[in-house]
Amino acid sequence: MAQSNSLKACVPAYLKEAQLIKQGAEARVYRATFLGRPVVIKERFTKLYRHPEVDEKLTRRRTTQEVRSILRCRRAGINAPVVYFVDYTTHCIFLEDIVHSVSVRDHIASAQTPQHLQALVEKIGEVLAQMHDEDVIHGDLTTSNMLLVPGAEHQHIHLVLIDFGLSYISALPEDKGVDLYVLEKAFLSTHPKTETLFERLLKSYSASSKKSSAVIKKLDEVRLRGRKRSMVG
Ligand SMILES: Nc1ncnc2c1ncn2[C@@H]1O[C@H](COP(=O)(O)OP(=O)(O)OP(=O)(O)O)[C@@H](O)[C@H]1O
Ligand SMILES: [Mg+2]
């Protein structure tokens, strides 16, 4: 009881004013204003079923990883939200709100024909190759974790990567291959009959990175392992 009271007292004042936009299993995402700017606040909350010390460590690690990978991407010119402020006592990250954006997931779902999407998947392949060249492994690549800013100039696609809570730094082709495998699974199950489109994404990835052949080789291995596992049952 004493613990839940003290937890309630910890709700930061800025969250009381914020508007909840997503309640996830690990985090709550809010919209608010910070220093006059529109922000998204991502709050990782305490899991009461976990040991408090373990929980604190895990939550802190996710927060740190998210911030570190965003900064690493931005330094390399890869679009990810600006990090305005991090509160390590309440595990809140204040991010630039990518206003008027739509998720790649919703964009693909509403596209008339796959032809409309070719330039987009080529852009995704290019950006992911850049990210992997910086040794950032995203850890949760899905089309929901990519935002599109509409209204960009013709030919120019403004793609922003988000949700780096499971990311880490690694130069291993295997880790990059698994990252692509996670995306492939998510992509093909979210967007049926897009095999050709996804192949195009991988082609663009390959053309954009000198290190891609080892990664694609690993991707093939991981796919094979997945298939063998499903045959065993
Ligand atoms: N910087 C941002 N600008 C605009 N919208 C955002 C931003 N960050 C997150 N969102 C919106 O909030 C949703 C949830 O954010 P995010 O994917 O980071 O959290 P999550 O999936 O709950 O996280 P986790 O997987 O770490 O539990 C996104 O799908 C997107 O719609
Ligand atoms: Mg997400």
Pocket of ligand 1 (CB under 6 A): 21-22, 24, 26-27, 29, 40, 42, 81, 95-98, 101, 103, 140, 144-145, 162-163, 165
* Predicted confidence (pLDDT) at residue 1 exceeds the cutoff of 60: no
35, with CB counted inside 10 A (0-12, 13-18, 19+), is: exposed
Q: For the residues 195-215, what does the mean pLDDT come to?
A: 97
Q: Give bridge partners of residue 158 from the DSSP assignment.
A: 149
Note the pLDDT of residue 48: 83
Distance, in Å, from the CA atom of 48 to the CA atom of 55, rounded to the nearest integer, reads 8
Identity of residue 16: K
Ligand 1 pocket mutation pick from 42, 91, 182 by most atoms within 8 angstroms of CB: 42
When pLDDT is cut at 50, 70 and 90, the band that residue 202 belongs to is: very high
Q: pTM for the complete prediction?
A: 0.92
Instruction: Please report the pLDDT score of residue 2 as a whole number.
Output: 45
Residue 151 tokens, joined: 């209204």
Ligand 1, atom 22: closest residue by C-alpha = 24
Asked whether the predicted pLDDT for residue 145 surpasses 80, the reply is yes
Residue whose CB lies within 8 A of the most ligand 1 atoms, among 20, 21, 26, 29, for a mutation test:
29
Nearest CA residue ID for atom 16, ligand 1: 163
Q: How far apart are CA 99 and CA 38, in angstroms?
A: 8
**How confident is the model at residue 5, as a pLDDT?**
47
Residues classed as catalytic: 140
- Cα of 163 from ligand 2 centre, angstroms: 5
CA distance from start to end of the chain: 45
**Phi, psi at residue 139, to the nearest 5°?**
90, -15
Residue 204 has pLDDT above 80, yes or no: yes
DSSP state of 14: H
